[in-house]
Amino acid sequence: MDEKLKPRGVSIVGSMTPKQFFATYGSLIGLIALFFVISIIKPNFLDIGNLINILRIASINGLLAVGMTFVILTGGIDLSVGAIMGCAGMYSAYFAQQSMGQPAIVAVLIGVVVGLALGLFNGVIIAYLKVPPFVGTLGSLGIAKGIMFLLSNAKPIPSLTPEFKFIGGGSIFGGNLPVPIVIMIIVLAICFLLVYKMRYGRYVYAVGGNMNAAKISGINTKAIICSVYVISGVLAALAGVITSARVTSGVTSTGDGYEVNAIAMVVIGGTSLMGGRGRLWGTVVGILLLTVLTSGLDFLGVNTYYQLIIKGFVVIGAVMLDGLNQD
């Protein structure tokens, strides 16, 4: 049964078997349990300062997962997000140097345009030139890295303007709400509108669920597929810009391996790698779960090698719970 056909805002629990309930809310329950366990062992985990730290990290790394959700909903994959993040971060840092004398908005826009261009490149080769997403984005991973090294010559770019650094390190509302969280809230609001309130969202699900049916019903499937890679590229670029601003310099290693985390966040949130089935709010839970887990295990002082093992089991466990819904 297709859950997205269900009416929203109605008591969902009532109409679900326990099995469906677990499959849908397992990750959320896991997240709450995790908070509970960590804060019992270390009560100062719940300090408002620490929670804001966690939300800020979740906001930056989560941008990749939000974009990745669109891609995976169409049945694709984007392995280039980490590299796009690094590349866009480096280009925006280049234009944010004090010696360049550019306003922060120029640096941000250049970063975003780099991400848009790389995302569009992904979209075109996958949607129109029929390159499989796995291979296509693996190729652009290397291309993005190379373009980044060409600019930076493998050296970090320091001394950025204070206005630019504000995007990553600053806070508004009397210093209580970090800018990256504000950006994430805006991005999420737009994406929820796209997915749940506009035709675009239904088209994305339709393309991922059954490409032929979508085509026959008159959806421009190629344009839809192309567009999800553009969204992914732009959001990855945004994450890169914020990261450069936060660590106050462009660094070549930014984003290395982040694509794996982004994919994990999406699948933990219950989106199927086969496409057509999933939920954006699930990705939000996945983002929070992985970030709280990482931060919490650090907080508890758990050995880094055990952390890798635990995170591996969590990803597998979450997907396993979700799989139960498919029987």
Partner 1 sequence: MKRRRIMAMVLALVMVASMFALAACNSGGSSSTADTGSSAAAVDEGSSAAETGTSAGAGMKIGVTYYSLQNEFTVRMDNAGQAYCDENDITLVSYDGNYDAATQLAQTETMIAEGCDAIIIDPVDAEACAASVEAAYNAGIPCIGANAMVNSDVLTSYIGSQDVLAGQDIMQYMIDYLGRDDFNIVIIEGPMGQSAQLQRLEGIENILKDHPDITILAKQTANWSRSEAMTIMESWLKSYDNIDAVMGENDEMALGAREAIKAAGKDIPCIGVDGITDAVTAIQNGDMIASDFQNAEAQMIKAIEVAVAAANGEEVEDFYWIPFEMITPENVEDYVNKY
Residue ranges in contact with partner 1 by CB under 8 A: 19, 33, 37-38, 41-42, 44, 47, 49-50, 53, 57, 60, 153-158, 169, 243, 246-249, 251-254, 256-257, 295, 298-304, 306-307, 310, 313-314, 317, 320-321, 324, 327
Task: Return the number of the residue (193 or 302) whose C-beta is nearest partner 1.
Answer: 302
CB of 63 to partner 1, least distance (A): 13
Decide: 223 and 127 in contact? Cβ < 8 Å: yes
Written as one string, the DSSP assignment of 128-182 is: IS---HHHHHHHHHHHHHHHHHHHHTT--B--B-HHHHHHHH-EETTTTEEHHHH
The neighbouring-strand residues paired with 157 are 250
**100 or 135, CB closer to partner 1?**
100
Residue 49 to residue 44: CA distance in whole angstroms: 10
Instruction: Quickly list H helices, 100-132.
Output: 104-123
The upper half-sphere exposure of residue 204, i.e. CA atoms within 13 Å in the direction of its Cβ, equals 29
Q: Which CB sits closer to partner 1, 2 or 327?
A: 327
How far is 89 from 141, CA to CA, in rounded Å?
A: 14
Minimum distance, C-beta of residue 180 to partner 1, in the bound complex (Å): 11
DSSP state of 255: T
Query: What is the distance between the alpha carbons of residues 97 and 103, in angstroms, rounded to a whole number?
Result: 10
Choose between 206 and 265: whose C-beta lies nearer to partner 1: 265
In 3-state terms, what secondary structure has residue 42? coil
Region class of 266: left (phi > 0), else alpha (psi between -120 and 50), else beta: alpha
Least distance from partner 1 to the Cβ atom of residue 298, Å? 5
First vs last C-alpha separation in the chain = 11
Q: Name which of 28 and 251 has its Cβ closer to partner 1.
A: 251
Report in angstroms how near the CB of residue 251 gets to partner 1 at its nearest: 4
Q: Which is nearer to partner 1, 139 or 156 (CB)?
A: 156
Amino acid sitting at position 35: F
Place of tokens 């493998």: 154
Cα gap 44→38, rounded to integer Å: 9
Ramachandran angles phi, psi of 250, nearest 5°: -80, 130
Tokens 């990745």 belong to 68
Q: How far is the CB of 8 from partner 1 (least distance, A)?
A: 27
**Considering only CA atoms, which of 226, 218, 96 is closest in space to residue 168?**
96
* The one-letter amino acid at 64: L
Task: Using the minimum distance from each CB to partner 1, give the nearer residue, 26 or 275.
Answer: 26
CB of 288 to partner 1, least distance (A): 15
**From the CB of 203, what's the least distance to partner 1, in Å?**
33
Residue closer to partner 1 by CB (options 6, 19) is: 19
To partner 1, the closest distance from the beta carbon of 254 in angstroms equals 7
